[in-house]
Structure formats: structure tokens, C-alpha cells
């Protein structure tokens, strides 16, 4: 999961590492395996690490290139990092086996075009002192979050909304449009809005280029083509079935890239059951997890279905049952003063 945070200060101001540290600490639950910080003049970065690829300290963040001074914090997973690593080896040996270093080396090789080479889910920040700029980048579909709060003096960003609030100085007035979306669309607030007037989400498939003078430019680097491909005009139902199955297999295979055991949250419904079936073909040690609720009757208890799927594919299955009182107690501990 990981959590990233940072501050960019404008017009000769120095970034406050204490602010970046407060935001980083507020994301400890996203990264229990390590913490790092970096400051370079107008920029300060923080990172909480959950080790998934390269469990050694060589993959720690923020990651800085010694020659150029370019610094990176990154949350996500680059599924094609091994292929990119092989392509980038002619630039010198790698110090780690992490996808983080691959992202950094890709930027150093291809500049802002590096993002077109990445296959995965990610939110990242790059500070490039050579060109007096910072980049905030989010993956094509916005799987990984990135929240931003801006004033005339600085920009702050973090993987979570509570982390930005921990830094202080955020306008917490409710955004009526964002609140309307939240209540109307089952807790969904489309980017760039959030429920708070002083916080936005970086939109998916967006690279935001920020200069130390405070200027900023958003670049949408990808968008889906909502048009039919003439090459597929003669495909029948059987061909579409084959292509969809192959696409699903590719998607699941990509997400099996990890140096730790891989798990699936299994409800027993169609989507999660299909993912478990394909994942079990890739790795025999897939773990599955299911949640049940005391208040559900036999027909509504998902254990009936998840148990059957886990047994069919021989997964290492874990069940957790939530008591009726657990939710209220959890909300009270987290939100009630």
C-alpha cells in the first residue's frame, strides 16, 4: 500500500520537513515496514513503506539519484518493472531489485515520457532540481490516491485526506458539490473534488508539473478511446469470449508480481471467484480472506459461497466474522473525541 507525502514551497521559501513528517506519520497504517524523509530546498518528501517488492533496505524511500539529485516517492506497483529493468541496465547496474528504482531510472532515461512506459497502479512525486520542477503523477485509472492542498505559498500532497489535515492549514469547509456527489453516488466523489473545499484529488492519468515560482500545468497523458476498433468488426461471440478471458488472465498475472504471499479478498461473488480461479492457476500458494457478519441470515452470509470457492481451488483460506457491535466500536475509536 505505502503512503507518500510532501510539501513544495514557492518563491524562495524552504519546505518545512516537520510538516512533511506530520503527514508521513499520519499514514503509518499504510506503511508499517519503514519510514523515510528527504528535503532539498523548496521541496520536502516523506514515505511510509509496505514492503512487497524487494524486502531489503535497498528499496527504501525517498529514493534519490546521487548524480542528478532527482528524488522520488512512490506508492503502488509497476507490473512490468522487470522488463523495464532489463531495458535500462545499459545505464549502469541497479542497486536494488525494487520497482521504485526502475521508476526513478525510467524518469532519468526518458524524462516526462517515462509515464507512458509504466504498466501498473501508482501515485508518485518526483523532484528534479536540474529543471527546477516537481511532478505529481497518478495512474491511468486513478487506482492509487493522491490528495493535494494548495495555497499561494505552497502545495502539500499525501496519499490520504487525514494526512493532509494532520499538517494543518487546510480549509475544512464542506464543498457542497463534493458532498452532493458523496451522498448521491454511494460515497464516490469524482476527481478533482473532495468533500472539503480546501483539498482536491489529482485526476487519474494526470501529470502535474509544478515550478518553484508556484506555476503549475496539468498534462493528461492518457485517455480511453470510446470508439469501436474496425479490426474487431468481424469478431463473433466466441472470439470476444476468448479475448476477454485472455485479458483477464493477463490482468491477474500482472498483479501476482510480489516478493511476499499474494491474497485475494473473496466474497464468493462472480468477480472475486473468477479472480481466485485465475490466480490459483498462477500460484498454488494463493491466500483468500472472507468477512462474515453476525446479523446476516444463512442466505446473506457470504461464507457459504466463499468457502465453496476456496475449497474448489485449494486456497489457504482465512475467515473473519464481524460482530454486530464491532462497527460502532471501530467508528467510536477512530472518529469520536
> Which residue in the list 2, 102, 158, 170 is annotated as catalytic?
2
Span between the terminal Cα atoms of the chain, in Å: 27
- Cell triple for 333: 475509536
> Which residue has 470508439 as its cell numbers?
227
Strands (E), 139-286: 147-150, 154-158, 200-201, 206-211, 216-220, 263-265
Tell me if 134 sits within 8 A of 127, measured CB to CB.
yes
Is 2 an active-site residue?
A: yes
Q: In the chain, what is the greatest distance between 2 CA atoms, to the nearest angstrom?
A: 64
Residue 293 Ramachandran class (φ > 0 left, ψ -120 to 50 alpha, else beta): beta
Give me the helix-helix angle, 270-282 and 237-254, nearest 10°. 70
Separation CA 23–CA 5 (nearest Å): 6
Q: Residue 270, SS3? A: helix
User: Active-site positions?
Assistant: 2
Amino acid at each position: 500500500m505505502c503512503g507518500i507525502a510532501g510539501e513544495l514551497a514557492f518563491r524562495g521559501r524552504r519546505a518545512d520537513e516537520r510538516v512533511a513528517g506530520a503527514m508521513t506519520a499520519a499514514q503509518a497504517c499504510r506503511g508499517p515496514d519503514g519510514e523515510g524523509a528527504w528535503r532539498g530546498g523548496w521541496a520536502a518528501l516523506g514515505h511510509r513503506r509496505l514492503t512487497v517488492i524487494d524486502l531489503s533496505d535497498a528499496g527504501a524511500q525517498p529514493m534519490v539519484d546521487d548524480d542528478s539529485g532527482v528524488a522520488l516517492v512512490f506508492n503502488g506497483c509497476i507490473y512490468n518493472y522487470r522488463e523495464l529493468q532489463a531495458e535500462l541496465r545499459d545505464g549502469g547496474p541497479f542497486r536494488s531489485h525494487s520497482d521504485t528504482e526502475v521508476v526513478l531510472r525510467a524518469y532519468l532515461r526518458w524524462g516526462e515520457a517515462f509515464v507512458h512506459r509504466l504498466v501498473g497502479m501508482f501515485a508518485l512525486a518526483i523532484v528534479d532540481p536540474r529543471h527546477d520542477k516537481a511532478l505529481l503523477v497518478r495512474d491511468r485509472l486513478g487506482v492509487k490516491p493522491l490528495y493535494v492542498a494548495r495555497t499561494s505559498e505552497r502545495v502539500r500532497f499525501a496519499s490520504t485526506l487525514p494526512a493532509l489535515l494532520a499538517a494543518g492549514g487546510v480549509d475544512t469547509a464542506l464543498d457542497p458539490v463534493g458532498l452532493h456527489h458523496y451522498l448521491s453516488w454511494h460515497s464516490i466523489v469524482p476527481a478533482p473534488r473532495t468533500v472539503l473545499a480546501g483539498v482536491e484529488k489529482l485526476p487519474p492519468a494526470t501529470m502535474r508539473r509544478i515550478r518553484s515560482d508556484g506555476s503549475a500545468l496539468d498534462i493528461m497523458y492518457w485517455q480511453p478511446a470510446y470508439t469501436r476498433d474496425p479490426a474487431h468488426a468481424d469478431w463473433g461471440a466466441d472470439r470476444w469470449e476468448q479475448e476477454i478471458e485472455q485479458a483477464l488472465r493477463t490482468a491477474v498475472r500482472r498483479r501476482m508480481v510480489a516478493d511476499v504471499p499474494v491474497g485475494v479478498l473473496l466474497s464468493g461473488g462472480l468477480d472475486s471467484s473468477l479472480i481466485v480461479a485465475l490466480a490459483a492457476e498462477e500460484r498454488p500458494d494463493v491466500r483468500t480472506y472472507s468477512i462474515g457478519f453476525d446479523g446476516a441470515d444463512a442466505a446473506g452470509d457470504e461464507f457459504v459461497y466463499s468457502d465453496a470457492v476456496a475449497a474448489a481451488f485449494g486456497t489457504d483460506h482465512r475467515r473473519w466474522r464481524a460482530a454486530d457491535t464491532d462497527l460502532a466500536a471501530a467508528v467510536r475509536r477512530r472518529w469520536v473525541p
